[in-house]
Amino acid sequence: MTADTRFLPRESLGRLVAALKAGGRTVLGPVVADGALGLGQIDTPADLAAGVVVATAPGRVRLEAASGQRTFAHRAGPSWKSALFPPRVDRLVARRDGEDRSGVSIEPLAPAVAPVALLGLRACDQAAIAVQDRVLAEGPVTDADYVARRAAALLVVVECTAAGSTCFCGSTGTGPAAGPGADVVLTELEDGFVVRPASPAGREIVDALGLEPADDQLVDRARTAVEDVRRVTSGQLPAGDFAARLVASPEHPRWAAVAERCLSCTSCTLVCPTCFCTGAVQKTDLDGRVSVVEREWQSCFGGDYARVAGWNVRSGTRERYRQWLTHKFGTWPEQFGTTGCVGCGRCIAWCPVGIDVREVLAGIAGAPAGEAPVAPAATALAAAPARWQPGPAGVTSAWESFSRAEVVERRSETGDTTTLTLAVDDEALWATRPGQFVMVGQPGFPAPPISVSRIHEGRLALTIRAAGAATTALTRLPVGAEVGLRGPLGRPWPVDDAAGHDVVIVGGGIGVAPLRPVIDAIRRDRGRFGDVRVALGARTPADRLFGDEVDRLGRETDFDVRQTVDRGDATWNGEVGLVVRLLAPDERITPDAVAFLCGPERMIPPAAAALQRMGLAREHIWVSLERTMQCGVGLCGHCQLGSLFVCRDGPVFSLAELGDRLEHEGL
């Protein structure tokens, strides 16, 4: 502690509250509401939940009288997440314009933000805000609402001098001492508070209180009390690199044992101060003219969370629990350069059946005998740099940033698939590269991710299969209708890296659509590439995507085009069977060839295996994946695959990058 450290007698706490309120801030702090600790507005210190302790155990939270009159005796605080990251917030409004309602405008809603002071955050809560800063405010694409609320917030941290049984901040390196990012730090003693400004804004507040410096004895007592809590809350997570062991244990029998108890109720994720998953909810008028899009807390335990057209990536509790815990402790550091857990213990205390993550982690990723514990600092904030990709061109904020596009041509491809050609004014979209996608917004519908199937200056083609209500509505749009486009998003196919190599293009069903721009690119610059084999599959001859075009490609170019269907008919005298049949070893394709692969998920492992049998390296086999996406920029969470966001880090990955992720059901 520094010479800045002052002493605030408890009876003078009102001066701090008044100083926080100055400048029009609303002060939020812990209050007693309905027999529990909640978050409420603090106008005077009397509003604070003084003299109560929150006793916690797995599945149990009780408010009890504290011995003594400490203001912040609680040990386990209220959930602060809603203060900066509200459970529901309106983000944009989509309207149908014009007499015939074919026009579309999609505009962001300005965050309705007022200055706020959060009084009584604990170190774990503050660390959680730092984690959310990393996720929502410090990446290439940010959440404008969170950024605005965060900028208007002053953080007053109270360091803990007592720990609950579910507290383990010492084990995660996130407490009990306040970390960087606080504005004012308090440590409570019997008679009052040791106060330390921790930022310029905090210094202004503390200076305005006109306090005496804290004497060394008080400072020592405060430090000792906090250090005691650190000791008590340490050593509760497995020693060594348990994150790596966790990630490496997707088939551990303990997952199924936890699923026997877990209710999939979502409580752990919603009380977790770092869980950031959200979804877009449409609030639409009865005529579908105006639709306000709301960002809503969602959970990886929700039934629809990982559902895509035709299947659910994680259909069972075992897979959902594994996803949550492995992400929180295992893959979060790789994604964000920080731990996902701040040791607050809320997931343990508020679990209706009392599942304790500390026990589960010990069971699945416990240290092998003899492994030395690592210092918690290794997993704490500000560790390794995150994996972030550069931000997508033209998209700086999640959810918003739609630009207008008009349908200028429509072509029915198969019974359920239509290609819309869109005139696009936004030049950022002209720079779309093969394999990238756009979110397509229409009032009243969720905006689905659609990969671009042809790229011209000023025009993009989207080939859309009517798989759900939103995509069905898109396939019915007439010429002249408008939609909103957000993008280009995602990582493109590495077409340039294939220059000088043979190329194998493998597509199935609608998966042929994102491959067409690759074929276009190779044809435009044919001399740069070696031999090209195109292997395409469809359910039936009538379901072949771009059938005439593909037939012409076979006739009019030197591409080796092979096609197959699952079920033939009278019109078909080609191959019948799976795409993998078209991938037999061939002397024309050299082992240093590059492959681009897109189709139904069940097609990918056998096709990738066949390509490897042809001699291709895993680093040269590129796969485009489909997952649920609500934001498309790595913020809504739905598309997570291990440490990867399919939307942001993909959708195009090399087989080497994917590792064994596709081999475990439900990752």
Binding site for another protein (CB under 8 A): 33-39, 59-63, 79, 82, 87-88, 99-102, 259-267, 270-271, 281-282, 284-288, 296-297, 299, 301-304, 316-317, 349-354, 444-445, 468-470, 472-473, 478-481
Q: Between 166 and 432, whose beta carbon lies closer to another protein?
A: 166
* Residue 550 contacts residue 561 (beta carbons within 8 Å): yes
Residue type, 100: D
How far apart are CB 117 and another protein at their closest, in Å? 19
**Minimal distance in Å, beta carbon 279 to another protein?**
9
Inter-residue contact 487 to 632 (CB < 8 Å):
yes
| CA distance linking residue 508 with residue 27, whole number of Å | 57
As measured in angstroms, the least distance from the Cβ of 102 to another protein is: 5
Strand partners, 653: 623
In the bound complex, what is the minimum distance in angstroms from residue 323's beta carbon to another protein? 15
Beta-bridged to residue 437, according to DSSP, are 451, 489
Question: Which CB, 88 or 411, lies closer to another protein?
Answer: 88
Pick the closer one to another protein by CB: 318 or 433: 318
Report d(CA 633, CA 646) in Å as an integer. Answer: 9
**Backbone conformation region of residue 538, classed left if phi is above 0, alpha if psi is from -120 to 50, else beta:** beta
3-state SS string over 375-441? CHHHHCCCCCCCCCCCCCCCCCECCCCCEEEEEEEEEECCCCEEEEEEEECCHHHHCCCCCCEEEEE
Q: Which residues of 540-566 are buried (b: 16+ CB within 10 A; e: fewer)?
A: ebebbbbbeebeebeeeeebbbbbbbe
Smallest distance from the beta carbon of 581 to another protein, in angstroms? 37
Report the residue number, 480 or 500, with the smaller CB distance to another protein: 480
Give the residue with the Cβ less far from another protein, 26 or 612. 26
Tokens 């400490």 sit at which residue?
Answer: 70
Which structure tokens are listed for 361?
A: 């982690």
Helices (H), 85-199: 123-132, 144-151, 169-172
**Residue 518 CB-density burial (10 A; 0-12 exposed, 13-18 middle, 19+ buried):** buried
Q: Which two tokens stand for residue 592?
A: 């240093």
Which residues, other chains included, contact 443 with Cβ-Cβ below 8 Å and sequence gap of 6+? 94, 95, 96, 104, 106, 284, 288, 289, 290, 291
Q: Which two tokens stand for residue 18?
A: 């008044």
Q: Which is nearer to another protein, 1 or 61 (CB)?
A: 61
Is the separation of the CB atoms in 125 and 273 below 8 Å? yes
CA distances (Å), origin 110, targets 92, 143, 144: 8, 12, 9
Please identify, using beta-carbon distances, which residue of 1 and 259 lies nearer to another protein: 259
Among 423, 521, 513, CA closest to 462: 513
Cβ atoms of 513 and 536 within 8 Å: the answer is no
Q: Which is nearer to another protein, 100 or 619 (CB)?
A: 100
Q: Tell me the closest approach of the beta carbon of residue 556 to another protein, in angstroms.
A: 36
Q: Specify the pairing of strand 459-465 against strand 594-598.
A: unpaired
Q: For residue 3, give the 3-state DSSP assignment.
A: coil
Give the shortest CB-99-to-another protein separation in angstroms. 7
Residue 354 CB, nearest distance to another protein (Å)?
Answer: 8
Closer Cβ to another protein, 28 or 246, answer by number: 28
Toward another protein, which CB reaches closer, 114 or 286? 286
Sign of CA dihedral 66, 69, 71, 73: negative
Q: What does the block give as tokens for 395?
A: 């998209």
Q: For the CB of residue 350, give the shortest distance to another protein in the complex, in Å.
A: 5
Q: Which is nearer to another protein, 60 or 203 (CB)?
A: 60
The nearest distance, CB 411 to another protein, in angstroms, is: 17
In the complex, the smallest distance separating the C-beta of residue 277 from another protein, rounded to whole angstroms, is 12
Task: Please give the single-letter amino acid code of residue 136.
Answer: L
Query: By C-beta, is 259 or 617 nearer to another protein?
Result: 259
Q: Which of residues 13 and 270 has its CB atom nearest to another protein in the complex?
A: 270
Minimum CB separation from another protein for residue 93, in Å? 15
CB of 65 to another protein, least distance (A): 16
Q: DSSP string covering 43-62, please?
A: SSGGGS-TTEEEEEETTEEE
Inter-residue contact 411 to 419 (CB < 8 Å): yes
